[in-house]
Amino acid sequence: MRSPMPNAPIARREAATDPYHWLEQRDTDEVLDYLKAENAYLEAELAEQAPLREALFEEIKGRIRETDLSLPTPWGPWLYYQRTTAGDEYPRHYRCPLPADGSLTVDESAEQLLLDPNALAGDGYLSLGAFTTSPDHNLLGYSLDTAGDEIYQLFVKDLRSGTISALPFDDCDGSLTWANDSQTLFFTTLDDTHRPHQLHRHRLGESTAELVFEESDGRFFLSCYRTSSERQLVLLLGSKTTSESWVLDADTPQGEFTCLAPREEGHEYYVDHGQLDGAWAWLIRSNQSGINFALFQASEQQPTRTHWQQLIGHDPQRMLEGVSLNAGAFILSLREGGLPIIEVHPRGAAPYPVQLPDAAYSLHVQDSLEFTSPVIRLRYEALNRPAQVRQLDLCSAAQKVLKQTPVEGPFDADAYESRRLWASAADGTQVPISLVARREVLAADQPAPLYLYGYGAYGECLDPWFSHARLSLLERGFVFAIAHVRGGGELGEAWYRAGKLEHKENTFGDFIACAEHLIAAGLTSPAQLAISGGSAGGLLIGAVLNQRPELFAAAIAEVPFVDVLNTMQNPDLPLTVTEYDEWGDPNQPEVYERIKGYAPYENVLAQAYPALLAVAGYNDSRVQYWEAAKWVAKLRATRTDNHLLLLKTDLGAGHGGMSGRYQGLKDVALEYAFLLKVLGLV
């Protein structure tokens, strides 16, 4: 056994099955003192990097246009937009009258400030949840989280008088949905496990709200939204594997919701309302005919399942991820070969795919604008290309870049090369890797420092994205790579299912295979390889560190879900029951043993580990702070190395870290300084 690092906090170890269970005693002096000691230890160990951290912060900040105007969005008689100002943590929200020529030109002399989060935040945490203008444009509904626990207070601002009213409701999830009368709001409240479970109907001016719906099944989350046509409201109930939709005419908000298809285990369907061939209709994306989903239609008058007619059939090679509706077209969001594809189906014309310039990229419909608009907006970016908002003319297929996220200072996208590689997993499955580096780094054909990121859960896709901050690593000779492991959704629903429940080990094996491939290809070496992941991606990092620690030199785990077994055995914790569909129910003996076999906290061994930085949020309602704290405590007591082991707990933040754009940059600067230190690159 190695001796502890000087001044490293050593957590009290109890003679119990879970020796660090006491760290779950929130708000006790002993727990807070330990977390503060870990924070102080981190600052002491990284004290020499303080100038580097500040330099990195200024460097990253210097690439970001601090004072900027967002792309205005037309709606009714107004243009809505945001403005960022140097020195401010949050953007301000504005609107101005829509120019007579229909252009996007902002008239600052006539603009109206809708909301200034900077004035609301002070020096504390602030997260803006809902931000929604009433259909008559006279009222603004918004919600605020001031602790990071994702519990919101609801507000309504009269945009004519400036009067702000706090709605007298507690335990809200932050969502707000207007009915067409601009006087009725629907909102959702949380149960004791932080699950959205009740939908309420509130008429402005009244002190109470009517309970519309309550979901008793702990696996199902409840939400409410307006359809594309703005003529209907949808109450959506969804678990990880099953969904159910209820609909209500937005013009009659006091009416009763109608169920389109009663839930059946394994049947997922999602609905929207618009026009097909000039008639009002429902479009339903459903997996009833195959796991990659198909598209169905139903008339407005007969929306229930017995009247659904197939519009686009199931394709085993293409995942139908979403549908956007417009008066002149419906737009499919597809995924094929690991890449997102947008396919437009104009009314009365042949469908066509959207053409794009890069081989690996991120793409989605950002805004379908008003229902009658002849154009929509797409968001497009790549590892070496800053995000663009592209306007697509639905009839002509013509594209126009309306705005590209600026990079201040010298920047040339062509100086960086993006590649797509494939690694072979142990079972022969080909796992995609996206990477980017300066061209001369790749041309040198020498191992380089490499930052490998992964997630692999819930069917989420890690499509390549651009990062201003990442340039600070690339300019220092790093390669950045994303491992698109099973458990994500990059290659469709089957890819997701192959990395969950009894197949979860595939996620870890895929990530290790990607690391081995990058090393074998000569792109990096174990002494230069750093890995990172957050939340369920933190579970991934913890698992691979236990299994193959010698492959890596450093790791960063953000709000890591590492105490999986204990958390999944506690149904009183937020989200546990609904997570059974992702990880399994450990009350079943075979599931218990399966989770126990890979849970990072349970499998810490007396072996050498890479340098590690773990980050937690004290108010995190999704992954409790103690998961990282217990994991670090057990690692410190068990490992056989003297590598740097640090725990940072944001005592005033939640799952997403500290709020505010500058604080976020400081957090990135700390992580990069940690990597440069432990990789010997300072």
Residues with a known catalytic role: 535, 620, 655
Backbone angles phi and psi of 456, in degrees to 5: 80, 50
β-strand pairing of 309-312 with 210-214? unpaired
Cβ–Cβ under 8 Å, residues 515 and 505: no
Backbone angles phi and psi of 614, in degrees to 5: -110, 135
Cβ–Cβ under 8 Å, residues 27 and 21: no
CA angle in degrees (0–180, nearest 5) for 254-260-262: 110
Cβ–Cβ under 8 Å, residues 672 and 56: yes
- Six token digits for residue 663: 């604080």
In sequence order, which residues have a C-beta less than 8 Å from that of residue 443 and are 6 or more positions away? none
Tell me how crowded residue 282 is: count the other CB atoms within 10 A of its CB.
27
Give the end-to-end CA distance of the chain in Å, rounded to a whole number.
Answer: 29
Q: What gap in Å lies between CA 241 and CA 228, rounded to an integer?
A: 25
Q: What gap in Å lies between CA 679 and CA 554, rounded to an integer?
A: 7
Cβ–Cβ under 8 Å, residues 452 and 556: no
Q: What gap in Å lies between CA 452 and CA 109, rounded to an integer?
A: 48
Q: What gap in Å lies between CA 296 and CA 317, rounded to an integer?
A: 19
471: DSSP letter: H
- The H or E element containing residue 479 is strand 479-483
- Six token digits for residue 600: 């990072």
Q: What gap in Å lies between CA 604 and CA 20, rounded to an integer?
A: 13
Cβ–Cβ under 8 Å, residues 225 and 212: no
Cβ–Cβ under 8 Å, residues 188 and 172: yes
